[in-house]
Structure 1
Amino acid sequence: MDRRLRNQRELLVLGAFVGATVGAWVGARVRDYAAAQSRPKVIDWERARTIAIRMNVGSRMSAGQREQLTSYYRSLVDRAVPLIAEYTGEALPSPAQHVYAFDRIDWIDANLEGFAEVLRPLETMPELPDQPALRLGLLAWGRLSQTVATTEVGVLLGYLARRVLGQYDLVLLGREPLAAGRLYFVEPNVVWLERMMRLNGADFRLWLALHEATHAYEFEAHPWLRDYINGLIHDWVSRLQSDSEALKRVWRAIRDLPSISRAQRERSWLELFMSPEQRALFQRLQAAMAVIEGYSNHVMHAVGRSIIPSYTEIARQFERRHQQRTVAEQLLARLTGLDLKLEQYRLGESFANQVVQRYGHDVLRLVWTGPEYLPSMDELREPDRWVERVRSIGSRGPQPVPGVY
């Protein structure tokens, strides 16, 4: 938390300095900007990588360690996959081959490309006007905006690299829609949490393998799911790209922040800056991700309690850690959007557990039938409404999910 606050203070100092010297700065560079033919990018990805890596020095693994651990994690996934297939009643179409042990910098490099792919439609600043004075002003502002955005992305990547234990990396918005996803296990973070919680290392890693391999089952056994998630992200980014009212909406949200209702405060702060159309897409994406994360947790617990000797202790420690988050951790989770991820786990797992307890696992598996079978945010909170709706789909044909997502 201290590091993030320092970065924020540095940005404020930088902004004040640029504001005080912008006239001299622009004057000294008139010739350079007048000759410039390209517009600045929104994010300097190489600089963002440098910032993230500086936050994670000293976490590198040797090539030998990486190879040995990769082999070990592949054996865990090979063990987990048939157990998941037995529970779900549906096998993976092919073995989970792309399994890797990572250090934190490996994770940064793997995810930097994904961040860039999603944000590529927003990468270039708008067309610049022909008027020299206005053009120079916008270029100067673009450079400052790039510095801020680059720093934020770099700090976020650096922070996440210290937190992620495992990841199913789905190729989103890429050129190979049929490519299998990749499973990453960030060993330095696994070791740190294992020691802090005093967990059995072998049991803990199998626990993680169950969760991540379930993600492989979700996406690779149901190809429509990747297309659905891709479509939501593409539509959301496209709307951001063409949103001419974004700056006005951001200003209104900041101005009205003290007077917003409690219900609005409980939503993600990100939604305050979105148009109604963007918010609807965002909530549909959140609902889908809640099912994906919640179902993986449900399977991890359902299978894990019968095969992992120290399952009870692992589950107890994780629940205790979640309940004892400090105020600083809660604030940082909200600022970075990690609170959304935690809510996805909680809400999705509660939905899955309630459906299985009341109606059985065969009913829960209907979520993987197609997009119209996914619950809305309201239905995640009231699973009986979802069950009632999906049971009627067979007799009436596919129906749209009701209500606001």
Structure 2
Amino acid sequence: MREQQARQATREVASPGEPPPLINWSQVRSIAVSLNRESSLEGADRDGLHAYYRELVERAVPLVAAYTGDELPGTLDRVYAFDRVDWIDANIDGFKDMFKPLEALNPLGEQRGPRTISLLWGGLNQTVLSAEIGFLLGYLARRVLGQYDLALLGREPLTGGKLYFVQPNITSVERALRLPGEDFRLWLTLHEVTHAFEFESHPWLRQHLNGMIERYFEFLSQDIEHLKRGMDGLRAFWDRARSREGTNGSWIELVMTPEQRALFNQMQATMSVVEGYSNHVMNAVGKDLIPSYEVIARRFERRQRQRTPAEHLFARLTGLDIKMEQYRQGEAFVNHVVRERGHDFARRLWEGPWMLPTMDEIRNPDRWIERVSTAQHPAPL
């Protein structure tokens, strides 16, 4: 698999006379892999771990089904144990799909003279952008424990996602936090299996996310057109940021238009509740099932909050700190709704996109409860 990925990546070179691609995926992979060469799974270990995690998934599926009241349309049989390089290779294709709309807008292909390109893109050339994505993938490969891989932006019908378990990272956390491996891995499996239930039992959720992502790239194409106008375009971004001075929000939101911010918040709210609900199910099922649940939950929460200064800086620069905070808010939202109105009421989240909370409702769950309680018929957010 790795050799095939590497060969495919090296072919991504522009033909003579064509503009260079915006992202050099060979460089992306090389950088990400270089940060993770020390972790690898041998063939015999890999085969045994594949079977081991499939058994854990088979054990978790009826437990999640019993709690959520949902059923899977198929079986979860595409379950794999990965090392970090496996995870990088599996996710590069997804990153490529996400960046295809940007390639279509590639400003390096504009024939407006080298001075314009130099002014507009300066350090944001192919090498720098590829390096940034490579470092991001390399960093994430060291942090991800498990993943439900659903092909977003894919046009084919949803037939089921894949479940990955990144064994070197799981082992590292178990050793660092002194966790009982069997219990911790079942706890983690409950979370990832819940993601499968969210998307496969409710196909509209994937379509909803795809629609938001496509709209996001439409907005991005408008911003790239701004950049092509040189200093006038850059001044538009500066004006946006100045208009947001003194308001709450990340640096990413500062340069957004009101329409972009509304879409950004909607996307963040959706992902917050997706992650928050998975955490809720993992803990609700796990506390009655796993003997060492209290120890695992307490130590893992501490691990999530205790990061090095370098990790904090990286998270702020990449926007990952926004995601982690909103995932915590998503879990608090679901927990509050279940505590106040019960799990059956909280399950109304999955009736359709009109039932998803806004970021304001995630921060103030009683507002969502009131809206859903009084709703007479579906209405888009």
After TM superposition, the score normalised by the length of structure 1 is 0.83
User: Could you tell me how far 1:75 is from its partner in structure 2?
Assistant: 0.5
Q: For 1:85 and 1:304, how far apart are their aligned partners in 2? A: 14
1:388 pairs with 2:370 = yes
1:293 pairs with 2:275 = yes
Matched residue SS, 2:71: coil
- Give the alignment partner of residue 321 of structure 2, picking from 334, 339, 353: 339
User: Could you tell me how far 1:389 is from its partner in structure 2?
Assistant: 1.0
Q: Residue 164 of structure 1 contacts residue 189 of structure 1 at CA under 8 Å; is this kept in 2?
A: yes
1:84 pairs with 2:70 = no
User: Could you tell me how far 1:174 is from its partner in structure 2?
Assistant: 1.5
Backbone CA RMSD of aligned residues: 2.4
Q: Could you tell me which amino acid in structure 2 is paired with residue 359 of structure 1?
A: R
Q: For 2:127 and 2:332, how far apart are their aligned partners in 1? A: 41
User: Could you tell me how far 1:399 is from its partner in structure 2?
Assistant: 1.9
Which residue in the other structure is 1:93 paired with?
73
Q: Could you tell me which amino acid in structure 1 is paired with residue 226 of structure 2?
A: E
User: Could you tell me how far 1:91 is from its partner in structure 2?
Assistant: 1.6
Which residue in the other structure is 1:40 paired with?
20
Q: Residue 35 of structure 2 contacts residue 138 of structure 2 at CA under 8 Å; is this kept in 1?
A: yes
Matches within 5 A, 1:234-253: 234-243=214-223, 244-245=225-226, 248=234, 252=238
> What is the CA deviation profile of residues 293-324 of structure 1, one whole-angstrom value per residue up to 9, with x for unaligned ones?
00000000000001111101001101222343
Deviates more, 1:239-248 or 1:337-346: 239-248
User: Could you tell me how far 1:251 is from its partner in structure 2?
Assistant: 5.3
Which residue in the other structure is 1:17 paired with?
none
Matched residue SS, 1:242: helix
- The percentage of counterpart residues that share the same residue type is 54
Which residue in the other structure is 1:156 paired with?
136
- Give the alignment partner of residue 282 of structure 1, picking from 259, 264, 285: 264
User: Could you tell me how far 1:111 is from its partner in structure 2?
Assistant: 0.6
User: Could you tell me how far 1:135 is from its partner in structure 2?
Assistant: 5.0
Question: Does the C-alpha gap of structure 1 residues 253 and 98 become closer, same or farther in structure 2, counting only changes over 3 Å?
Answer: farther
Which residue in the other structure is 2:350 paired with?
368
User: Could you tell me how far 1:138 is from its partner in structure 2?
Assistant: 3.1
Q: For 2:76 and 2:239, how far apart are their aligned partners in 1? A: 45
Q: Residue 78 of structure 2 contacts residue 161 of structure 2 at CA under 8 Å; is this kept in 1?
A: yes
User: Could you tell me how far 1:79 is from its partner in structure 2?
Assistant: 0.5
Matches within 5 A, 1:146-225: 146-225=126-205
User: Could you tell me how far 1:325 is from its partner in structure 2?
Assistant: 2.9
Question: Does the C-alpha gap of structure 1 residues 371 and 136 become closer, same or farther in structure 2, counting only changes over 3 Å?
Answer: same
Which residue in the other structure is 2:40 paired with?
60
1:307 pairs with 2:289 = yes
Deviates more, 1:272-281 or 1:343-352: 272-281
Q: For 1:317 and 1:348, how far apart are their aligned partners in 2? A: 20
Matched residue SS, 1:260: coil
Q: Residue 204 of structure 2 contacts residue 352 of structure 2 at CA under 8 Å; is this kept in 1?
A: yes
Structure 2 unaligned segments of length 5 or more: list them. 1-13, 228-232
Q: For 2:372 and 2:160, how far apart are their aligned partners in 1? A: 29
> What is the CA deviation profile of residues 83-139 of structure 1, one whole-angstrom value per residue up to 9, with x for unaligned ones?
0111111121212111111000000011111111011010142385666xx158638
Q: Residue 128 of structure 1 contacts residue 138 of structure 1 at CA under 8 Å; is this kept in 2?
A: no
Q: Could you tell me which amino acid in structure 2 is paired with residue 386 of structure 1?
A: W
Q: Could you tell me which amino acid in structure 2 is paired with residue 275 of structure 1?
A: T
Question: Does the C-alpha gap of structure 1 residues 54 and 315 become closer, same or farther in structure 2, counting only changes over 3 Å?
Answer: same
- Give the alignment partner of residue 269 of structure 1, picking from 238, 251, 256: 251
Q: For 2:157 and 2:236, how far apart are their aligned partners in 1? A: 35
Q: For 1:130 and 1:249, how far apart are their aligned partners in 2? A: 22
Q: Residue 174 of structure 2 contacts residue 181 of structure 2 at CA under 8 Å; is this kept in 1?
A: yes
Question: Does the C-alpha gap of structure 1 residues 177 and 335 become closer, same or farther in structure 2, counting only changes over 3 Å?
Answer: farther
Which residue in the other structure is 1:138 paired with?
117
Q: Could you tell me which amino acid in structure 2 is paired with residue 157 of structure 1?
A: L
Deviates more, 1:324-333 or 1:191-200: 324-333
Q: Residue 253 of structure 1 contacts residue 272 of structure 1 at CA under 8 Å; is this kept in 2?
A: no
Question: Does the C-alpha gap of structure 1 residues 94 and 400 become closer, same or farther in structure 2, counting only changes over 3 Å?
Answer: same
Q: Could you tell me which amino acid in structure 2 is paired with residue 208 of structure 1?
A: L
Matched residue SS, 2:163: strand
1:51 pairs with 2:31 = yes
Q: For 2:115 and 2:238, how far apart are their aligned partners in 1? A: 28
Q: Could you tell me which amino acid in structure 2 is paired with residue 391 of structure 1?
A: S
- Give the alignment partner of residue 115 of structure 1, picking from 73, 92, 95: 95
Structure 1 unaligned segments of length 5 or more: list them. 1-32
Q: Residue 379 of structure 1 contacts residue 385 of structure 1 at CA under 8 Å; is this kept in 2?
A: yes
Matched residue SS, 2:307: coil
Which residue in the other structure is 1:230 paired with?
210
Deviates more, 1:334-343 or 1:42-51: 334-343
Q: Residue 39 of structure 2 contacts residue 84 of structure 2 at CA under 8 Å; is this kept in 1?
A: yes
User: Could you tell me how far 1:352 is from its partner in structure 2?
Assistant: 0.5
